[in-house]
Amino acid sequence: MVNARAFSAPGKALLVGGYLVLDPRYSSYVVALSSRMHAIVTEVKSSDPEGIKITVRSSQFNGDEWNYEVKGEKGSQNFKLSEMNDKKNPFVEKTLLNIFTYFQISLSETSNIMIDIYSDAGYHSQANSVVKKNYHKEFRYHTKSITEVPKTGLGSSAGLVTVLTTALVSFFKPNISVAKVADLNLIHNLAQVSHCQAQGKVGSGFDVAAATFGSILYRRFDPDLINKLPPINSTEYQGSLVNLIDETDWKITAEPIGLPKGLRLVMGDVSSGSETTKLVAKVKEWFNKNTPRSEEIYDAINEGNLRFIDGINELSKLLEQSPDKYEGMIQSLEKGGDPKSYECFKNIMDAVDQIRENFRIITLESGADIEPPVQSKLIDDSLKLRGVLTGVVPGAGGYDAISLIATEHANLPSQTEKDSNFKNVTWLNLRQENTGLAEELPSHYYNLE
């Protein structure tokens, strides 16, 4: 029997909290999605006493594969990791470096490792791809390498790093379980460090947090936790990393959340693409130049964010306490009734108006196209569709996508197929799914055809 384990982690959409989430004072609402990243780790017995080989295969992307060799003394910190064909994948590389550093692995006693990565269709544009499937899973196979296939913005690198970290942790610490909070924290902390290093910046980390914990109310860690680590190749790194992973309170908030039954998240891909780093840089510059007014604008957005979160909680309470009334409201929304006639719906819509209004001010003043006029029009047009409660530009905003909250049965593709206002929108075939990391059965990935 082959010694193998498999895990999956979800993609994300930051529904409210963009930009503010970079500051640990503010909470954000992060939704985990049904599109998941998968890793299957298999032990490959080896007789090489000097080092171990790790192969990471991403066969969906033109047979992409990275072959690493780790060499060094037994239990040594001075191991050397190299990719044998000079192929680069910084996310895989930093994950491996941190795992080997953290676990102080005895290289002479470890088998070789094979890891297969699979990503669900939602992460990438589906053009020029074919489906391969078995009874349990189906994946799209592309003719190009991973770096050349357009992304949809669900956080592929965060999903990859999180699930790869989990697979490797399970290899070196077989008793881990995704049901144990302590194990999730270990994986989360390791994955945040690797992801930040591979990206070359310390973002808010909401994407790695969602990949680990699922749909959450999120408050970030202090960026200095990672910024102050010594250089990865220094002798002090190992001790500092272990201290940061095991002994440090990161003070993040990751409370489970979810939309009440009857409502769902719909993502519309606009796929012109925006660069988050550039948007963040422009917003920071605007913020610093415009204090204290910029702080007031952030506070107004935060008030909207908190009103949104309260509004969703109120709806969930209503569903619990008066399910008939709640069902009536959903039915009315689905038939095209005015949602503002219900206080609970109105509160959520007003909160989103407050958020959007202020982001439009930042857009105008900073030159960062967070909610540019074409996206405002698209959201406003979407609000006229039957079953749509509200809508935002998720995450950093820009020209990537829109996120709508709609009723479970609202059929947006059929309402918009002949409407030229929606000609640039592809409704993505995914849902909110609150689960974070999950353990899967390795056999479910075999024999894809």
Ligand X SMILES: Nc1ncnc2c1ncn2[C@@H]1O[C@H](COP(=O)(O)OP(=O)(O)O)[C@@H](O)[C@H]1O
Q: Tokens for 299?
A: 């506070």
Find residue 115's DSSP bridge partners.
Answer: 41, 56
- Based on the shown chain and the rule CB under 6 A, indicate whether residue 86 belongs to the binding site for ligand X: no
- As measured in angstroms, the least distance from the Cβ of 248 to ligand DP6 is 21
- Based on the shown chain and the rule CB under 6 A, indicate whether residue 107 belongs to the binding site for ligand DP6: no
Rounded distance between C-alpha atoms, residue 9 and residue 210, angstroms? 8
Residues 157-186 that bind ligand X (CB under 6 A): 157-158, 160
Which residue's CB is nearer to ligand DP6, number 30 or number 117?
A: 30
Q: Which one of ligand DP6, ligand X, none is in contact with 146 (Cβ closer than 5 to 8 A by kind)?
A: ligand X
Count of residues making up the chain? 449
Find residue 139's DSSP bridge partners.
Answer: 132
Q: Which one of ligand X, ligand DP6, none is in contact with 157 (Cβ closer than 5 to 8 A by kind)?
A: ligand X
DSSP string, 375-410: HHHHHHHHHTSTTEEEEE--TT-SSSEEEEEEETT-
Residues 143-162 that bind ligand DP6 (CB under 6 A): 153, 155
Q: Tokens for 132?
A: 């391969």
The span of 14-22, 56-64, 94-102, 126-134 binding ligand DP6 (CB under 6 A) equals 14-22
- Based on the shown chain and the rule CB under 6 A, indicate whether residue 151 belongs to the binding site for ligand X: yes
DSSP string, 230-260: PPTTSTTHHHHHHIIIII-----EEEE--PP
Q: Which of 6, 9, 15, 21 binds ligand DP6 (CB under 6 A)?
A: 21
- Based on the shown chain and the rule CB under 6 A, indicate whether residue 22 belongs to the binding site for ligand DP6: yes
State whether residue 5 is helix, strand or coil: strand
Q: Are 112 and 52 in contact (CB under 8 A)?
A: yes
Which residue's CB is nearer to ligand DP6, number 252 or number 280?
A: 280
- As measured in angstroms, the least distance from the Cβ of 41 to ligand DP6 is 25
Token match 């040594």: residue? 76
Q: Which one of ligand DP6, ligand X, none is in contact with 382 (Cβ closer than 5 to 8 A by kind)?
A: none
- Based on the shown chain and the rule CB under 6 A, indicate whether residue 98 belongs to the binding site for ligand X: no
State whether residue 119 is helix, strand or coil: strand
- As measured in angstroms, the least distance from the Cβ of 14 to ligand DP6 is 5
Q: Are 195 and 208 in contact (CB under 8 A)?
A: yes
- As measured in angstroms, the least distance from the Cβ of 283 to ligand DP6 is 8
The residue type at 15: L
Buried (b) or exposed (e) across 399-422, using 16+ Cβ within 10 A? bbbbbbbbbeebebeebbeeeeeb
Q: Tokens for 13?
A: 């959409």
Q: Which of 4, 9, 14, 99 binds ligand DP6 (CB under 6 A)?
A: 14
Q: Give how many residues touch ligand DP6 by CB under 6 A.
A: 16
Integer distance in angstroms from the first to the last C-alpha of the chain?
23
Token match 């290093």: residue? 197
- Based on the shown chain and the rule CB under 6 A, indicate whether residue 9 belongs to the binding site for ligand DP6: no
Which residue's CB is nearer to ligand DP6, number 211 or number 438?
A: 211
Q: Which of 112, 119, 166, 432 binds ligand X (CB under 6 A)?
A: 119
> Going residue by residue from 203 to 222, which x/- string records binding to ligand DP6, judged by CB under 6 A?
xx-xx---------------
Q: Tokens for 162?
A: 């999180």
Q: Which one of ligand DP6, ligand X, none is in contact with 117 (Cβ closer than 5 to 8 A by kind)?
A: ligand X
Which residues contribute to the site for ligand X (CB under 6 A)? 58, 89, 91, 117, 119, 146-147, 151, 155-158, 160
Which residues contribute to the site for ligand DP6 (CB under 6 A)? 14, 18-19, 21-22, 153, 155, 203-204, 206-207, 276, 280, 394-396
